[in-house]
Chain A
Amino acid sequence: MGEILISLEGAGVCYRKAHGFFKSVRSDFWALKSLTMQVFEGETVGILGRNGAGKSTLMRLLADIIDPDCGTVTKHKKLCTTLLSIGVGSHSTLSGRENAILNGMILGATKQHMKNSLERIKEFSELGDFFDQPIYTYSSGMAARLGFATALEVDPDVMLIDEMLSVGDSGFQLKSAEALKARLKSGKTAVLVSHSPTTIADLCSRCVWIEDGIAIAQGDAAEVAKQYEAFMANGKAHAVPASAA
């Protein structure tokens, strides 16, 4: 395992919702309560948890989109941490080519890098002549293919992946999943969110299991995935397993 890149110490995030000017009731919701975990260089960390457990909020913390309301998030060197999103900030009247440049820049790459990547994106997305058509002419599958091929060209220091292993039809699904797996196995540092223990066990070296905004287990991916699976099969929704870390 490499050195520590990112460490969270008791990090928590609170969403406040005011119920209107004339009502004094405010509901605070702590999506993450107190999370302590590390991301090491070169590893793929899995984040397991049910819907609403705080996975997406954790990704926003790691991607620097929000600051924690308590605790700390420390990056131990200058890092580009990017959530790989499909087609973020795309404009329907721009061509696939133009959108690839724009998306890539929004995801963190330079304009020059995206220009140099265009041919690879065109080839990977299998769009052919549609690459130079405005994307409002695309089917949703085509737009997803373009978005995936673009995201794949952006090479952040820490890749954050939120349930995005495959897009498009079955052929492209296989191809995109393979491309991403190859990237993860090549020693890229990544954080992968999923609610599928099989995916986590397959792709990750370590895993953090989040429930109700806290980490209830972390360690070897296969082991934590097994605990999670047993826990889910048991159907004891809110019980914390005895082996919790």
Chain B
Amino acid sequence: MTSLSPTLSTMGWRRYWDIIIYRTYAELKAEAQLSYMGYVWWVLEPLLNTVLFFVLMAVVLEQSTIGAVSFLVIGAVTWQWFNASMMSASNSVLDAGSMLKQIYLPKAILPLISILSSTWKFLFLFVILLIFTWATGHPPSIAYLALPLVLILEFLAIIAFTMPLAFIMPYFPDARITVDAFLRSAMLVSGIFFSVSTLPPVYRFYFHLNPLADLIEAYRAILLDGAWPRWDLMAYVAGLSVIGLILATVIHKRVDRSMVKAIHR
């Protein structure tokens, strides 16, 4: 009995990881080369979004102080991380259809590539965001110790919400339209433009059911007020993510080697 070819690894986790990293790099590079200004857009696009939000806030809510800028930017940047990941990752498996018909890859690899590439762009922006909040009078505090936890929680939440969606997308292509509509409405209720304290107390409970709203509130508590995030809400976000990850694992196991049959492209 001859042994397995020495050049190959069917065990594969190392190889899968290399593929993820390589394709993430390729996607970032491709995106930057598709436009004349390339990497500049990573900063420019969220900057334009923030300006838009600021104007909206000033005109509609009639509350525009310079302090509102850091308030807004924190909400906009951390929301955009979730938004961009969700948009690209939920379609990632479907978009890779022609490749998946030729070669076996665990389907989870594809949303991970999309998520990592938007995470890389986010981290880049987040550093600028930190510098900006320091410059506008909110220096680092002891509460910064909770920052990695909140970042990891959002990362997990992104994976947990996106993966199940990416796996069922080949079966329900209509979900693509639903995701766009869902994200647009979710943006309005995640507290990017307003703080929970402006809401009547009866609504606050429902507001906090939205994990993105909880995360945005936590970022603001840490960066602007030097306060600890609300641990009960963080535990709730973690719990939801764990449920999402279990769901993703179950679906993945069920459809990993049959999904390709449902992709008609």
Chain A interface (Cβ within 8 Å of chain B)?
3, 13, 15-17, 21, 41, 60, 63-67, 77-80, 82-83, 85, 88-89, 91-94, 98, 101-102, 105-111, 113, 154-157
State which residues 62-95 of B face A: CB under 8 Å: none
Chain B residues lying within 8 Å of A3, measured Cβ to Cβ, are 1
Known: A102-B23, A105-B15. A155 touches B99 (CB 8 A): no
Residue from the list B22, B27, B103, B258 in contact with A107, Cβ < 8 A: B103
Least CB distance from B189 to A in Å reads 28
Q: Which of A17, A66, A113, A155 is in CB contact (< 8 Å) with B258?
A: A66
**B positions within 8 Å CB-CB of A:** 1-2, 4-5, 7-10, 14-15, 18-19, 22-23, 26-27, 29-30, 33-34, 96, 99-105, 174, 257-258, 260-262, 264
Whether A88 pairs with B102 at a CB distance below 8 angstroms is: yes
Tell me whether A156 and B5 are in contact in the complex, defined as CB-CB below 8 angstroms, given that A67-B258, A91-B30, A111-B18 are known contacts.
Answer: yes
Q: Is the CB of B7 within 8 A of A113?
A: yes
The answer to whether B18 touches A66, judged by C-beta atoms less than 8 angstroms apart, is: no
Give the residues in chain B near A156, CB-CB below 8 Å: 5, 8
Contact B8 A60 (CB under 8 A): no
Q: Is the CB of B26 within 8 A of A102?
A: yes
25 contacts between A and B (CB under 8 A): A3-B1, A17-B264, A65-B103, A65-B257, A65-B260, A67-B257, A80-B5, A82-B103, A83-B103, A85-B102, A89-B103, A91-B29, A93-B34, A98-B26, A106-B19, A108-B103, A109-B15, A110-B14, A110-B15, A111-B22, A155-B8, A156-B5, A157-B4, A157-B5, A157-B8
With A78-B4, A80-B5, A107-B103: A92-B30 Cβ-Cβ less than 8 Å: yes
Contacts of A78 in B (CB 8 A): 4, 10
Contact between chains at B261 and A94 (CB < 8 Å)? no
B10 x A79 contact (CB < 8 A): yes
A41 to B5, CA, bound (A): 13
Is there contact, CB below 8 Å, between B26 and A91?
yes
Q: Do the beta carbons of B99 and A106 come within 8 Å of each other? A: yes
In angstroms, how far is the closest chain B Cβ from the Cβ of A97? 12
Q: State the CA gap A15–B264 with chains docked (Å).
A: 11
Report the separation of the CA atoms of residues A63 and B29 in the bound assembly, to the nearest whole angstrom.
31
- B103–A94 touching, CB < 8 Å: no
CB-CB < 8 A to B99: which residues of A?
Answer: 88-89, 106
Q: Apart from A65-B260, A83-B102, A156-B5, what are 7 other A-B pairs with CB-CB below 8 Å?
A: A60-B101, A79-B4, A92-B30, A93-B34, A98-B22, A102-B19, A105-B22
6 nearest CB pairs, A to B: A91-B26, A113-B7, A93-B30, A67-B257, A85-B102, A111-B18
Separation in Å of the B96 CB from the closest CB of chain A?
8
B246–chain A nearest beta-carbon distance, Å: 22
How distant is the Cα of A98 from the Cα of B102 in the complex, in angstroms? 20
Instruction: From the candidates A16, A77, A93, name the one contacting B33 in the complex (CB within 8 A).
Output: A93
By a CB distance below 8 angstroms, the chain B residues around A92 are 30
In the complex, what's the smallest C-beta–C-beta distance from A194 to chain B, in angstroms? 17
Counting chain A CB atoms within 10 Å of each CB, which of B15, B100, B102, B105 scores highest? B102
Q: How far is the CB of B71 from chain A (nearest CB, A)?
A: 38
Choose among B18, B29, B96, B258 the residue that contacts A94 (Cβ–Cβ < 8 A): B29
Q: How far, in angstroms, from A113 to B103 measured CA to CA in the complex?
A: 19
